[in-house]
A and B are shown apart, each in its own frame.
Chain A
Amino acid sequence: MEQPIVQLKNLTKVIGKRKIIDNLSLDVTRGQVFGFLGPNGSGKTTTIRMMVGLISITSGEIFINGLSVKQNFEQAIRHVGAIVENPEMYKYLTGWQNLIHFARMIPGVTEHRVKEIVQMVGLEGRIHDKVKTYSLGMRQRLGVAQAMLHKPGLLILDEPTNGLDPAGIRELRDYLRRLAKEENITVFVSSHLLSEMELMCDQVAIIQNGRLIDIRNLEHGSKGDQAMRVLFEVNAEQPAHAALTARGKQAEMVAPGVVAVFAQREEIAEANEILVSSGVKVYGIRQQVKTLEDQFLEITGGEQRV
């Protein structure tokens, strides 16, 4: 089996007497967008800061590309590009000088590569202006540029959608998915914005109070022949319910004028036919999809703090 790009093993961080991260273990496979979810204060940023060596590890290990961050930091970090919280650059330097600054710190990054990356993030027009004149969106793009300079195998982004407008978020989302797919870059992204994560990620880990609660794969596109809850909007729920159960369908009344049926794709049409033929008026049919947000609240019990 291919070695996971990121491995957290029994990771623990204690600050004072508080356990911020508690025995967290996690494997991230290559080439995917991996979401790291949790409510505020659950330990997302702490974990990420340990991954990039900004804070020390109390116990446990982090391996990036099989290299220990604790023992072999300089080797391990070479394959990592990261933005931890906001991409803060040297405001008194130009965008170009900022990129040159970080390029000098990594072997093999040529001026040609810097030019290439400037084009990739679309900053050609303003790259020689001072960063203090940049808008937040431009700073974000410069942040992505500095993280991608050395073609890292792993891109770590901490709350990248903070402060972005919907268009910016969408742009970022498309960009990250493209990176993962075309350049085989693994993207490790933390967020508390679940609906965004749902659209962006292949797999998500959910943590709360520093503990791993769940890991799940998110499927994009059709769900095949899985049974799902379908809501029928009708003129009268009682006769509708009666007609459906009489024909052996699993149905329940959920609200005035709404009947829920647990059905596969084909059965939806059948149920509709039953309703229509027994004189019930159908105004609408829709799938009830459990969003990640619903699932998340279910798992974490809506409880946010210790």
Chain B
Amino acid sequence: MFDFMNLVRNENMKIYRRPRTYVMGGLLAGLVLIASLIWLAVSGRDTSMWDVAFFESMLMSGLVTIFVVIVAAASVAEEFSGGTIKLLLIRPWSRSKILLSKYIAVFLYALLMSVVLFASVLLINWLIFGIGNTGIEAAMMPAEAGSGVFVHILKFYGLKFIETIMTLTIAFMLSSMFRSSVLAVGIALFQILIVNNIASLIMFLKQKWVDYVLFIHLDLTQYLSGSGMGIRPGMTLGFSLGVLAVYYVLFMALAWLVFTKRDVAN
């Protein structure tokens, strides 16, 4: 039996042999550096690195999602637009496994980009502001300090990562359904840009069904603020995760169904 990992290696090759992947990574680190330098110019060195790190993380995590969405959408759609799907599917592999290898590759890419942001935010700010320099004690952070700050930012990245994966899955599904990366990126971007506004609008509706709307649950960092309560009364992190899980299964099922069943004709 030969190795499924070969398929993932192939998909990785198609991601990492393209310059755009490195442009995205470089852009993340570069923007973090610029933001920190501006902060330094405005406020001087008398600042907590954690404040800057947290601010930049909030600012840039959307960018990570956008980059990941672009790669996820391209993963399936470009095989169709380039015609290479015809060569890819006529190998001794089921369509499910080929799609799974693609999903794993973009998942790993999402992980990598999150780590790149996390590492550059910590490293750059540590170098610029110094780890020991607490300055005005982490104003943006909740009461906890010291190692608590690190745990807090880790939690933030974990929750953001779930949001990124959800958005990635939506883009992946759209890409598989419509075979158009433009459409997939467009809809996913729309979702990223509009989601907070929609959420903050409909959260005031009294109706029960609003509790099950995807957009209400996407931003899980709402649970980070002290009380652990969501933007709607009675919502908890567990409930949000449950709703997201249901949507996730639905999106994956749709992506799989369409990809494995549909005819590949021009």
Contact = CB atoms under 8 A, between A and B. Distances in A.
A93 B90 contact: no
A49 B265 contact: yes
A56 B7 CA distance: 23
Nearest to B88: A105
A73 to B, nearest CB: 7
Given A101-B13, A105-B7, A89 B87 contact: yes
A77 B89 CA distance: 10
A78 B10 contact: no
Nearest to B89: A54
Contacts of B90: 52-54, 77, 80, 82, 84
A56 B261 contact: yes
B86 interface: yes
A107 B7 CA distance: 12
A105 B84 contact: no
B135 interface: no
A108 B263 CA distance: 29
A90 B14 contact: yes
Contacts of B18: 92
Interface string A63-82: 00000000001110110101
A106 interface: yes
A147 to B, nearest CB: 9
A88 interface: yes
Given A74-B92, A74-B93, A105-B91, A54 B14 contact: no
Contacts of A105: 6-7, 10, 91-93
Given A104-B6, A106-B91, A97 B13 contact: yes
Contacts, number: 79
Nearest to B1: A107
Contacts of B9: 104
B89 A53 contact: yes
Contact of A101 (B10, B82, B92, B261): B10
User: Dominant SS at the A interface?
Assistant: loop
A175 interface: no
A78 B264 contact: no
B148 interface: no
B86 A85 contact: yes
Nearest to A105: B91
A80 B13 CA distance: 25
B94 interface: yes
B83 interface: yes
B190 interface: no
Contact of A74 (B13, B87, B94, B264): B94
B264 A49 contact: yes
A105 B93 CA distance: 8
Interface in A70-126: 73-75, 77-78, 80, 82, 84-93, 97, 100-102, 104-108
Contact of B94 (A15, A73, A91): A73
Contacts of A15: 263
Nearest to A82: B90
B265 to A, nearest CB: 6
A55 B264 contact: yes
A88 B13 CA distance: 17
Contacts of B6: 104-105
A54 B92 contact: no
Interface string B7-20: 10110011001100
A85 B265 CA distance: 11
A105 B83 CA distance: 18
B209 interface: no
Interface in B55-86: 82-84, 86
A42 interface: no
A99 B91 CA distance: 13
A84 B265 CA distance: 10
Interface in B131-153: none
Contacts of B265: 46, 49, 54-55
6 contacts: A53-B90, A55-B263, A80-B90, A89-B84, A101-B14, A105-B7
Interface of A: 15, 46, 49, 52-56, 73-75, 77-78, 80, 82, 84-93, 97, 100-102, 104-108, 146
Interface of B: 2, 6-7, 9-10, 13-14, 17-18, 82-84, 86-87, 89-94, 261, 263-266
6 cross-chain pairs, A with B, having the tightest CB-CB distances, nearest first: A88-B83, A55-B263, A107-B2, A104-B6, A105-B91, A54-B264
